[in-house]
Amino acid sequence: MAECGVATRHHVSPTSVTIVKCAPPPTPTEAFSCHDIITYMKKILVTGGTGFIGSHTVVELLNAGYDVDIIDNLCNSKASVIDKILEITGKKPTFYQQDLLNQPALDQLFQTNEYYAVMHFAGLKSVSESQSKPYEYHHNNIVSTLNIIKCTLEYKVNRLIFSSSATVYGTQDSPECFESMTTGQGITNPYGRTKYFIEEILKDVSAGHPELSITLLRYFNPIGNHPSGLIGEDPNGIPNNIMPVIIRVAQGKIAKLKVFGNDYDTPDGTGQRDFIHVVDLAKGHIAALKHMQKGVNIYNLGTGTANSVLELIYSFERISGQKIPYEIVDRRPGDLGAVWANPAKANAELGWKTQLTIEDAITDTLQYLKLHQ
């Protein structure tokens, strides 16, 4: 199928997609189906496609037969990810090193390509940095999204998937998050508010442009990496999130993990989160892409279960055979005790469900560490 796809990809215009669609079905002996050809020719623009979640989603898009263009300014990722994606999938996405704030460059990209959809991952994402650089976070995340919206409207790319976050739920009465809950209350940092503001902007844009299909995917806590260990999470600077900190401790780069509080109303007193394997998360994007509907559709991407910080540490120790020194310190300001997804809507409407466990995520993380000492 791939070879056939490569042969047709550069020659078939979007008009001829219809012709292929109307052609008689291939015989069972043919190595590909009509559906495969149509899917293959759908080109997806992935912003932030060299980043942690973006790169894993690009792998799933290529494996599902989509054609992929990546735009990324490499502010928190490396161009070498493109070769790793090639090694995993046998296919190389087209890479544009470009900033989304550069509207003329974006215009040129949309002028010269026919995109079926845009998946918008790019954005600054450090909670602590967002507190010391609020202007940069609001400017970068919001203006770059407005630039993407402008292009999708101007060039009639009517499908947009946005990387949102469980952070938009802010403070709620219940730890279990449903898409129907009111969002935006009690978000404790500028990064989180950019996610909330962008959701609201996209709702306004949708109301004025009913031709658009917009999907907001609210991620819970992604961990792990591709089982090959070739791509993974490699944040610049000091990490905030739990798994990158555990990795730094395992590598001996940080002496001790600080556990932020053991007096929460949870079984062992430490924070509980819905840790989702990034490969499951990436697959959620493919499911969302295949089920895009007009208007704004919102889905939680999570497992529906929660594990505590101590459970994560102990699982890591058990699977790696390595001690993770830790100490209990004060709560981190702005943290919540327990948060998990109710993923029923994504399960039912997208036909998507997580398949992998935190043990899988840890095993895959160890493979990444083996290759990236």
Residues involved in catalysis:
191
Among residues 32 and 260, whose Cβ is nearest to ligand UD1? 260
313 binds ligand UD1 (CB under 6 A): no
x/- string (CB under 6 A) for ligand UD1, residues 212-251? ---------x------------------xxx--x------
Beta-sheet pairing, 307-308 with 272-273:
antiparallel
Q: Please answer whether residues 231 and 225 qualify as being in contact, where contact means their C-beta atoms are separated by less than 8 angstroms.
A: yes
Residue 104 CB burial class (10 angstroms; 0-12, 13-18, ≥19): exposed
361 binds ligand UD1 (CB under 6 A): no
Using DSSP, state whether 152 is helix, strand or coil. Answer: helix
Beta-sheet pairing, 159-165 with 221-223:
unpaired
Q: Please answer whether residues 365 and 243 qualify as being in contact, where contact means their C-beta atoms are separated by less than 8 angstroms.
A: yes
Among residues 155 and 314, whose Cβ is nearest to ligand UD1? 314
Torsion of CA 115, 121, 123, 125, to 10 degrees: 180
Measured from each CB, the residue nearest to ligand UD1 is 271
Tokens standing for 31?
A: 């190595």
Among residues 152 and 167, whose Cβ is nearest to ligand UD1? 167
Spatial separation of the C-alpha atoms in residues 206 and 294, rounded to whole Å:
9
Spatial separation of the C-alpha atoms in residues 245 and 358, rounded to whole Å:
16
x/- string (CB under 6 A) for ligand UD1, residues 86-125? ----------------------------------------
Return the residue of 89, 103, 188, 305 that touches ligand UD1, per CB under 6 A.
188
Q: Smallest distance, Å, CB 329 to ligand UD1? A: 8
Among residues 106 and 259, whose Cβ is nearest to ligand UD1? 259
259 binds ligand UD1 (CB under 6 A): yes
The count of residues interacting with ligand UD1 (CB under 6 A) is 21
Residue 345 CB burial class (10 angstroms; 0-12, 13-18, ≥19): middle
x/- string (CB under 6 A) for ligand UD1, residues 123-162? ----x-----------------------------------
Q: Smallest distance, Å, CB 127 to ligand UD1? A: 4
Burial 356-366 (b: 16+ CB within 10 A, else e): bbbebbbbbbb
Among residues 41 and 276, whose Cβ is nearest to ligand UD1? 276
List all residues 6 or more positions away from 226 whose beta carbon is below 8 Å from its beta carbon: 56, 59, 88, 232, 278, 279, 364
Q: What is the chain's Cα-based Rg?
A: 21
**Interacting stretch for ligand UD1, rule CB under 6 A, among 115-123, 199-207, 288-296, 331-339?**
331-339
Q: Smallest distance, Å, CB 270 to ligand UD1? A: 7
Return the residue of 334, 353, 357, 360 that touches ligand UD1, per CB under 6 A.
334
258 binds ligand UD1 (CB under 6 A): yes
Among residues 115 and 191, whose Cβ is nearest to ligand UD1? 191
Query: Residue 321: how many CA atoms within 13 Å on its side-chain side?
Result: 0
Residues that bind ligand UD1 (CB under 6 A): 127, 165, 167, 188, 191-192, 221, 240-242, 245, 257-260, 271, 273, 309, 332, 334-335
